[in-house]
Amino acid sequence: MPGMEPALPLEETPLLTDAVEPYEEPDEPSPLIKYLDEGNIVDELSDNGGTAQKIISLYDEALASMQPWLKKYKKALSLAKLQPTANGKDIEHKTFPFEGASLTMMPFILEAALDFNSRAAPEIAWSNEIAHAKVYGENTKEKEDRAKRVADYTNAQLIDGIPSWRSDQDKGLMILPIIGTFYKRSFFCYEEQGLDSDLLLADQVIFNHAYATFEEAPDRFRVETYTRNQVIGYIRGSQKWDLSEDELEEDAEELEFIHAETWIDLDDDGLKEPYIATIYRDSEKIVCLYPRYDDDTVHMNDEGEIVKVVPVDSLTQYRFIPDPEGGPMGLGWGILLGPMFESINTNVRQLIDAGTLSITSANSGLISKQLTSARGNAVKSGPVEIVMGQLTPIETNGSGPLRDGIVQLPFAGPNTVLFQLMEYLVSSARSMTNATVNAEAQPGEAASLYLARLQQALKVPNAIVMRVYDCCKQELQKMALLNYRHFDDEKYNKVLDTQTTVSMEKDFNPDDFDIRMVADPSQGSDIERVQRAQVVFEMAKDPQQPGQVLNYRKAVIDVLKAMKTTGIEELAPEPDPNAKDPMQEMILAQQMAAMEMQKRDQDLRAQEIQFKGMKLQLEQQRSAMQAAREMSELGLSADKQEAEITRLYTQSLKDLVDMGMAYEQAVQSAAQIEDQFIDSKNNPANLLNGETEYNYNPLTSTMTKRGL
Indicate the range of 200-209, 416-425, 501-510, 663-672 predicted with least confidence: 663-672
Half-sphere exposure of 381 (CA within 13 A, CB side): 0
Q: Which residues lie below 8 Å from residue 662, measured CB to CB, with a gap of 6+?
A: none
* Long-range pairs of 448-452 with CB within 8 A, sequence gap ≥ 24: 448/535, 450/531, 451/528, 451/531, 451/532, 451/535
pLDDT greater than 70 at residue 504:
yes
Is pLDDT larger for residue 214 or for residue 2? 214
In a domain, 244, yes or no: yes
**DSSP-assigned states of every residue in 393-437:** EE--SS---GGGGEEEPP---S-HHHHHHHHHHHHHHHHHHTTT-
Is there a domain that residue 514 lies in?
no
User: Residue 500 falls within a domain, yes or no?
Assistant: no
- Low-confidence winner among 260-269, 354-363, 392-401 (lowest mean pLDDT): 392-401
Q: For residues 223 and 282, is the Cβ–Cβ distance under 8 A?
A: no
Identify the band that residue 688 occupies on the pLDDT scale cut at 50, 70 and 90.
very low
Q: Where does the pLDDT of residue 18 fall: very low under 50, low under 70, confident under 90, or very high at 90 and above?
A: very low
Q: Which residue has the higher pLDDT, 302 or 586?
A: 302
* Residue 435's pLDDT band (cuts 50, 70, 90): low
Q: Which of 290, 313, 336 is the last residue of a domain?
A: 336
Instruction: Please report the pLDDT score of residue 41 as a whole number.
Output: 93
Which range (237-246, 442-451, 517-526) has the least confidence? 442-451
At 9, the pLDDT band (50, 70, 90 cuts) reads: very low
pLDDT digit string, tens, across residues 557-607 = 887 877 777 777 777 777 766 666 666 677 778 788 888 888 888 888 888
Q: What is the largest CA-CA distance in the chain?
A: 189
- pLDDT grade for 143, boundaries at 50, 70 and 90: confident
Q: Indicate the range of 13-22, 273-282, 658-667, 693-702 predicted with least confidence.
A: 13-22
Residue 560, CA atoms < 13 Å, CB-side half-sphere: 15
Asked whether residue 369 is assigned to any structural domain, the reply reads no
- Report yes or no: 655 and 698 within 8 Å, Cβ to Cβ: yes
**End-to-end alpha carbon distance in the chain:** 146
- Is 186's pLDDT higher than 50? yes
Sorted by sequence, the CB contacts under 8 Å of residue 611 that are 6+ apart come out as none
Give the tens place of pLDDT for each residue, 609-632. 888 888 888 888 888 788 777 777
Q: Cβ(409)–Cβ(386) under 8 Å?
A: yes
Enclosing domain of residue 649: 583-705
**Are the C-beta atoms of 645 and 684 separated by less than 8 Å?**
yes
Give the model's confidence band at 72: pLDDT under 50 very low, under 70 low, under 90 confident, else very high.
very high
- In angstroms and rounded to an integer, the radius of gyration of the C-alpha atoms of the chain is 53
Distance CA 247, CA 282 (A): 9
pLDDT greater at residue 512 or residue 80:
80
Whether 350 shows a pLDDT value over 50: the answer reads yes
Give the domain-ending residue among 336, 361, 388: 336
Given a cut of 60, whether residue 201 has pLDDT beyond it is yes
**Tell me, what DSSP letter sits at residue 54?**
H
* pLDDT of 475 higher than 90: yes
- Average pLDDT value for residue range 148-163: 93
The pLDDT-based confidence of 704 (bands split at 50, 70, 90) is low
Residue 111 belongs to a domain: yes
Is 162 inside a domain boundary? yes
Count of structural domains, the chain: 2
Does the pLDDT of residue 685 top 60, yes or no? no
Residue 666: pLDDT band with limits 50, 70, 90: confident
Domain presence at residue 237:
yes
Q: What percent of the chain has pLDDT over 90?
A: 33
For 49-65, what is the mean pLDDT? 95
- Report for 361-370, 388-397, 479-488: range of highest mean pLDDT: 479-488
Strand partners, 306: 300
- Predicted pLDDT of residue 375: 47
Q: Which of the four pLDDT bands, split at 50, 70 and 90, describes residue 183?
A: very high
Contact 314, 482 (CB under 8 A): no
> Is 282 among the domain residues?
yes
Task: Judge whether residue 461 has pLDDT over 70.
Answer: no
Instruction: Give the count of beta carbons closer than 10 Å to the beta carbon of residue 189.
Output: 12
Choose between 252 and 238: higher pLDDT.
238
Average pLDDT on 388-398 reads: 71
Total residue length of the chain: 708
More confident position, 296 or 383: 296
What's the pLDDT at 443? 65
**What confidence score (pLDDT) does residue 156 get?**
94
- H/E stretch holding 75 reads helix 67-80
Question: Do residues 517 and 130 make contact, with C-beta atoms less than 8 angstroms apart?
Answer: yes
Name the β-bridge partners of 184. Answer: 199, 316
Residue 664, SS3 per DSSP: helix
Binning pLDDT at 50, 70 and 90, where does residue 254 land?
confident
Residue-level pLDDT at 521: 63
The pLDDT of residue 203 is above 90: yes
Mean pLDDT over all residues of the chain?
A: 80
Residue 179 has pLDDT above 90, yes or no: yes
Question: d(Cα 209, Cα 221) in Å, to the nearest integer?
Answer: 13
Q: Residue 368: beta bridge partners?
A: 394
From 308, 336, 364, the end of a domain falls on: 336
pLDDT at 309 over 60: yes
Across 395-404, 416-425, 612-621, least confident range: 395-404
